[in-house]
Structure formats: C-alpha cells, structure tokens
Amino acid sequence: MENNVFEQMAKRYDTQERIELANVILEEVKPRLQNSKDKTLLDYGSGTGLISLELADFVQSVLLVDSAGQMLEVAKAKIAQSGISNAQVLNADFTQEVPDVKADIVFMSLVLLHIPDTEKILQNLFSVLNDGGELWIVDFDKNENISHPKVHNGFAHEDLKEKLKEAGFASTEIHTFHHGEKIFMKQDASMFLARSVK
Ligand SMILES: C[S@@+](CC[C@H](N)C(=O)[O-])C[C@H]1O[C@@H](n2cnc3c(N)ncnc32)[C@H](O)[C@@H]1O
C-alpha cells in the first residue's frame, strides 16, 4: 500500500525534516549496535537508506528492502557515491511473498504504520530472522489526533507487544524515546523503539 506514493516521491524524499528525524532515530539506535560487527542487518522498508546506510559501519552487512523500486534507486546511487561496500538492495514486499533471505537483525523504521495487516508482516519478518535474532521497530505511539484511511495512527505498546508475542517472539522491550512537533502528519507525536527477540 502507499506504494505509488513512495515511488513518486523517491527523488524528493530526503527533505531537511526527514533527515533531522532520521538523525534522532540514529542517535537512539547506534549505541545499541556496538559489538554488532558480526551481525547481518535487514532494513525493511528502507526507503532511500536515510537510516541504514548510516549503520553500515556498525554491522557485517546491510540489506535494504523496499517495495518501491524508485526509493531503492536513490539508495543505490548513494551506495555507489559513498563507496559503501557492504550494502545491497532488494525490491520486495514481504506481505506478498517472503524471499529466501535471513538476517540477525531486522530493522523497520516508520514502515509498520503503512502496512494494513500488522499480524501478517510481523509473522513474515519473524520467519526471516536467524534463531536468537532481533526485530527492531521504530514507529509512532498511538495518536488519537490522527485519522487516515491508509495509515495506522500509531501503536499502543501493550497491543503491539501482544501481537509480537503471537507472531512468536520470546520477549519484547518497548520505550518511547522522542517527542516532536508536527512530526506525524503535521501533528505533535512521539516515537518508540521496540526490540523483540526470536
Ligand atoms: C516513511 S518511509 C520510511 C523510510 C525509512 N525506513 C526511513 O525511516 O527513513 C516508508 C517506506 O516503507 C516502504 N513500504 C511501505 N509498504 C511496504 C511494504 N509492504 N513492503 C516493503 N516496503 C514498504 C515505502 O516504499 C517507503 O520507502
């Protein structure tokens, strides 16, 4: 869903606001990737790679997965330009078909809200994780000020924890790490990081 929107906006996706928000997310995530040089990271719904291309030095390899090919074209140009040698892209939609890939960490930033069937994508992401692997989700906290037919208005921690448990995850830790002005459909909102262990 929203695929066409992202195909169309790819070349103008990296605005100052989105780069600033990506930097806030990176500040939260980077410290947790110390000692991860032997881990493979799959960035699901990577977009133009604003987050995961900045994480490439922290891990063994990065696979940027997105259903919008145009977003990946932008990411590919960045990879070539900056000479990152351990990043690849994959045009795929795991809600339709799960390819034969495996990862130690699946990272998903501001993507879950765009996927209608939360349970299904959580199950499919569980299946690509190696045993003991982790799913890291960054998204918006539930926000009753927002109502949109195609986008979830954020997630309540306890509801999401329950869905992650049902998908098979052994444990989940969730915390809110940022409150910002007009960051979610022009509304003030907060973001969480959820880390689940397979
Ligand atoms: C808001 S952007 C976030 C991009 C990036 N994760 C970031 O934080 O900068 C959402 C991305 O998710 C992708 N996306 C949406 N639905 C998807 C799906 N079902 N499978 C894969 N990617 C999807 C879109 O194409 C888009 O690139």
Per-residue pLDDT tens over the stretch 79-88: 999 999 999 9
Whole-model pTM? 0.97
CA distances to 23, 44, 186 from 51, rounded to whole Å, are: 8, 11, 21
Nearest CA to ligand 1 atom 12: 45
pLDDT, mean of residues 44-54:
98
The average pLDDT across 17-21 equals 97
Q: Is the CB of 45 under 6 A from ligand 1?
A: yes
What is the DSSP pairing of strand 187-197 with strand 171-184?
Answer: antiparallel
Shortest-distance atom of ligand 1 to CA 50: 9
pLDDT at residue 87 in the model = 98
Give the per-residue pLDDT at 21.
97
pLDDT at 2 over 80: no
The per-residue pLDDT of the chain, averaged, comes to: 96
Stretch 56-76: mean pLDDT: 98
Contacts of 169 (CB under 8 A, 6+ apart): 122, 126, 135, 196, 197, 198
User: How far is it, in rounded angstroms, from Cα 147 to Cα 21?
Assistant: 21
Tell me which CATH code domain 3-197 carries.
3.40.50.150
Give nearest CA residue, ligand 1 atom 9: 50
The answer to whether the CB of 50 is under 6 A from ligand 1 is: yes
10 Å Cβ neighbour count for 148?
A: 9
pLDDT band at 1 (very low <50, low <70, confident <90, very high): very low
User: How large is the C-alpha radius of gyration of the chain?
Assistant: 16
Choosing from 20, 67, 108, 140 the residue with most ligand 1 atoms within 8 A of its CB, the one to mutate for a pocket test is 67
pLDDT of 62 higher than 50: yes
Please give the structure tokens belonging to residue 107.
Answer: 């990272």
**Ligand 1, closest atom to CA 7?**
25
Tell which residue, 92, 71, 84, 100, has the closest CA to residue 10: 71
48 CA from centroid of ligand 1 (Å): 9
pLDDT in tens, 130-179: 999 999 999 999 999 999 999 999 999 999 999 999 999 999 999 999 99
- C-alpha 117/C-alpha 123 separation (Å) is 10
Q: Is the CB of 133 under 6 A from ligand 1?
A: no
Q: What is the pLDDT of residues 34-48, one digit of tens each?
A: 999 999 999 999 999
